[in-house]
Amino acid sequence: MLKQPEAAAMLKPSETVVYKFFFIYYKNMEIIIFGNELLRQKAEPVKDFNRELKTFLENFLNTMRKEKGIGLAGPQVGFMKRIFAVQTEKDVPLVFINPSIVETSQEMVKYEEGCLSIPKVWAEITRPETVRVQAWNERGRPFTLEAEGILARAVLHEYDHLEGILFIDRLSELKRNKLIAKFEKIRALGYADTVCGKP
Ligand SMILES: [Zn+2]
């Protein structure tokens, strides 16, 4: 086995550079939790597709991955711009900038939803089965997407965040109050896993 100085001497300069890239750092963004007024504000359109936005998106997508969310919207990290990302299983993350909902199906479906900003509670929410959405991607290119199933669900949920709407707003008042009470209990207990009954 080589001694340390000898091993170091064997490295060519280019190899030393490569080593540095084994460590990828990113700033983990803090997710804003229910009760924070930012979640109730309408987000502003993105005007510049600049370097700042690119850096933001890298951290944003990493945060979404780390938190195991299938979607995340700007306001959830205090970035009050019209931007969200969705990543359903296996797929690469899709970034939606300045999105507009072009069309939704008449058919409505019920599906269980949760939100990283209201952790540990879930509820069945009725929404359109399919959606057509127009937006710009992270490179500033426009696209239109027709989505169904979980993807449509995630798009509609995240779009709501840009309008200051939360999934619990789509419940009846009685159900909403029950869910909020449950959430407040969990919050008071410090989000203990033992009370949530779900992983
Ligand atoms: Zn959410």
What average pLDDT does range 77-87 have in this prediction? 97
Task: Calculate what percentage of the chain has a pLDDT beyond 70.
Answer: 82
- Residue 60 sits in a domain whose CATH number is 3.90.45.10
**One of 148, 158, 163, 184 is an active-site residue; which one?**
158
- Does residue 99 register a pLDDT over 80? yes
pLDDT band at residue 197, thresholds of 50, 70 and 90? Answer: very low
Report the alpha-carbon angle 114-86-189, nearest 5: 30
Task: Calculate what percentage of the chain has a pLDDT beyond 90.
Answer: 75
How many whole angstroms from 157 Cα to the centroid of ligand 1? 6
How many whole angstroms from 9 Cα to the centroid of ligand 1? 52
pLDDT band at residue 91, thresholds of 50, 70 and 90? Answer: confident
158 catalytic? Reply is yes
Which amino acid appears at position 106 of this protein? Q
Kindly state whether residue 114 falls inside one of the protein's structural domains: yes
What average pLDDT does range 181-192 have in this prediction? 90
pLDDT for the residue numbered 49? 92
Kindly state whether residue 85 falls inside one of the protein's structural domains: yes
How many whole angstroms from 151 Cα to the centroid of ligand 1? 14
Q: How far apart are CA 145 and CA 151, in angstroms?
A: 10
What average pLDDT does range 119-142 have in this prediction? 97
What's the total number of domains in the chain? Answer: 1
pLDDT band at residue 25, thresholds of 50, 70 and 90? Answer: low
| pLDDT tens readout for residues 2-24 | 344 444 444 444 444 444 444 44
- Does residue 50 register a pLDDT over 90? yes
pLDDT for the residue numbered 191? 78
Kindly state whether residue 8 falls inside one of the protein's structural domains: no
Kindly state whether residue 21 falls inside one of the protein's structural domains: no
User: DSSP E strands: which ranges in 77-176?
Assistant: 83-86, 94-104, 108-115, 118-128, 130-136, 142-148
Q: Which domain holds residue 51?
A: 26-190
pLDDT for the residue numbered 94? 96
Kindly state whether residue 16 falls inside one of the protein's structural domains: no
How many whole angstroms from 108 Cα to the centroid of ligand 1? 19
Kindly state whether residue 64 falls inside one of the protein's structural domains: yes
User: What does pTM read for this prediction?
Assistant: 0.83
Residues, beta carbon < 5 Å, ion ligand 1: 115
Kindly state whether residue 13 falls inside one of the protein's structural domains: no
Report yes or no: 92 and 86 within 8 Å, Cβ to Cβ: no
What average pLDDT does range 110-130 have in this prediction? 97
How many whole angstroms from 7 Cα to the centroid of ligand 1? 50
Q: How far apart are CA 17 and CA 5, in angstroms?
A: 17
What average pLDDT does range 146-160 have in this prediction? 97
Kindly state whether residue 91 falls inside one of the protein's structural domains: yes
pLDDT for the residue numbered 68? 87
pLDDT band at residue 126, thresholds of 50, 70 and 90? Answer: very high
